[in-house]
Chains A and B, each alone.
Chain A
């Protein structure tokens, strides 16, 4: 059983959804990013997604763009991202990279997969590659024994959901809405329907991301999804913080609030 599978099993045993937290590597600095993510893990984030900062993040809204720009401005490299993964994986939390495709291809598809595995990484989420273009990635991730997570969207016809679910392992990432990352006042009703449609074709866990920013929204999604992915809400706290310690404290508080909400969500907890 992979570490991701173990994490899902543990959450299932507690009848709750997993909490997955996102933070770009190198943001605000390499050291501070590790501290911030450690604070997330210590406060109930089960699985970590480390963003690989990219110059053209076309699935990201302004918050994550700003964070990636900061990380790139002080020269964050793929090697730095792998070092971040290594530091976080050492905490015991399954750690994934979320990366656009070009940095992976440029680094070398096999090399990237192998070095991530060597760093203790659990897998990779790739938001801009579809199964039709993924042959090399499938072999590389199979060889390196890491998970590969692809996305489904509300616009995906059923046969494409099936295709994506077949090629994904670890879990299937359901984009809650049509759009880019960012906090939203409500989570789209499309999300629940998309999770249901995905469950029709796979027994893999289905996690929901895009727009989940409060414990209430996390609880709402946690009632029907296997995992709740929170990105921009954490990143915004770090962007707005006046010091690294304030950033870590803010992230810790939000993580704890979300984790608590998820623990009670399926027991009639308040949405």
Chain B
């Protein structure tokens, strides 16, 4: 593969579309990342944190009830939900937080949608003694109130963003404005494989641990899966599990985006399925935009997938055909959410429930001999009130 190129391009995608004021900081980050990546001491420190603090390696859990329901031989869940803080986000956060220390910066800022990246960042900031400010769309602070409280308990300042659609897109705008103002002292700890180079590559490298572990765990059980499945918002958990399977051409890779109320309703976040090529938040990729290049609002029951852009490497993988991207509606995701709870005793994040729903669809296509590996990217504690409301449950 060897992508991105030296300027951060994945084919026509990626690159750096930023104010000149940020270029020096991106160069500094790029340099710090590449030096650290070649430094055994950095890897030793990061690996120790991933093992002793986050609890890696995460297990691979067979899900026989899901397998029966989907009509396949085996469903395997990569349990990123069992990481400390409850999702895969901590993998990247610990890496970037260590880089922040190496760059001699004392403050981190982050955007968050569902709050999982914000919680992970607040956690690492507490651990490594960094000042932490998290930008979160006001709509998301309401639907993910539990995570707001968690971030505050961890000592972070949570800033509700009241501009634009008041969701993740606007939180990123506000974080960028903070960064361009405070770049000398502050690292922008971006939470997904989007944004200007080197973020898409760097965040991918920090999440590759998911796929490396899962691939080996599959081999230890007897062989590679027929399909690997992940949900896609910005695409960090997906690239993390896909990357080390890219050369295994016999393994099909599927990314499931949020189709919200349905792609034909226009109320969705299915960027790769229904978007077009453009530039947003520092990178060229697919995005939801109108004919004047204005970003369109996305919609999803899942705050973490409610983003009108997607990482540039996914755009590249879409065009190459190596990964197939499809939409999963709110209804399909919530049915899968319920099934996962009842049948396996695992409450998934609603984001991850999109991957479970996608696997259900694949079961019909792949048939009874298939093994499907699902990246269960996060746990659903944060979604309990959304789910209770959706299913009409009693007060919780």
| Residues in chain A within 8 A of chain B (CB atoms) | 54-59, 61, 65, 69, 72, 77-78, 101-107, 127-130, 132-133, 150-157, 160, 164, 175, 178-180
Contact = CB atoms under 8 A, between A and B. Distances in A.
Top 9 closest pairs, chain A to chain B, by CB:
A106-B293, A153-B21, A103-B293, A179-B181, A55-B294, A58-B176, A102-B293, A55-B295, A155-B24
Interface in B132-158: none
Interface in B24-80: 24-25
* Interface-central residue, B17, B20, B22, B169, by most chain A CB under 10 Å: B20
B24 A130 contact: no
B177 interface: yes
Interface string B183-209: 110000000000000000000000000
Contact of A105 (B24, B279, B294): B279
B386 interface: no
A133 B20 contact: no
Given A59-B177, A156-B21, 7 more contacts: A59-B180, A107-B293, A128-B282, A130-B17, A151-B19, A178-B180, A180-B177
* Interface-central residue, B21, B177, B282, by most chain A CB under 10 Å: B21
B281 A103 contact: no
A160 B280 CA distance: 23
Given A103-B294, A179-B181, A151 B281 contact: no
18 contacts: A56-B295, A69-B163, A69-B164, A78-B293, A101-B279, A102-B280, A102-B295, A103-B294, A104-B293, A105-B278, A105-B293, A151-B21, A156-B23, A160-B23, A178-B21, A179-B177, A179-B180, A179-B181
Contacts of B19: 58-59, 127-128, 151, 153, 175
Interface in B269-300: 278-282, 289, 291-295
Contact of B20 (A56, A77, A101, A130): A130
A156 B294 contact: no
B289 A102 contact: yes
Contacts, number: 109
Nearest to A77: B292
Nearest to B15: A133
Nearest to A180: B177
Contacts of A54: 293-294
A127 B18 CA distance: 8
B281 A56 contact: yes
Nearest to A53: B294
Contacts of B21: 151, 153-156, 175, 178
B385 interface: no
Nearest to A54: B294
Interface of B: 7, 15-25, 163-164, 169-170, 173, 176-177, 180-184, 278-282, 289, 291-295
A51 to B, nearest CB: 14
Contacts of A127: 19
B184 A106 contact: no
A130 B292 contact: no
B280 A157 contact: no
Contacts of A78: 292-293
B278 A132 contact: no
A101 B181 CA distance: 21
* Interface-central residue, B183, B292, B294, by most chain A CB under 10 Å: B292
Contacts of B181: 178-180
Contact of A58 (B7, B177, B289): B177
Given A55-B164, A56-B169, A58-B177, A164 B20 contact: yes
B299 to A, nearest CB: 16
A155 B177 contact: no
Nearest to B9: A133
Contacts of A156: 20-21, 23-24
B96 to A, nearest CB: 20
A156 B20 CA distance: 7
A133 B21 CA distance: 15
Contact of A160 (B7, B24, B163): B24
A175 B16 contact: no
Nearest to A60: B177
A72 B22 CA distance: 27
B17 A103 contact: no
A165 B330 CA distance: 50
Nearest to A179: B181
Nearest to B295: A55
A127 B281 CA distance: 13
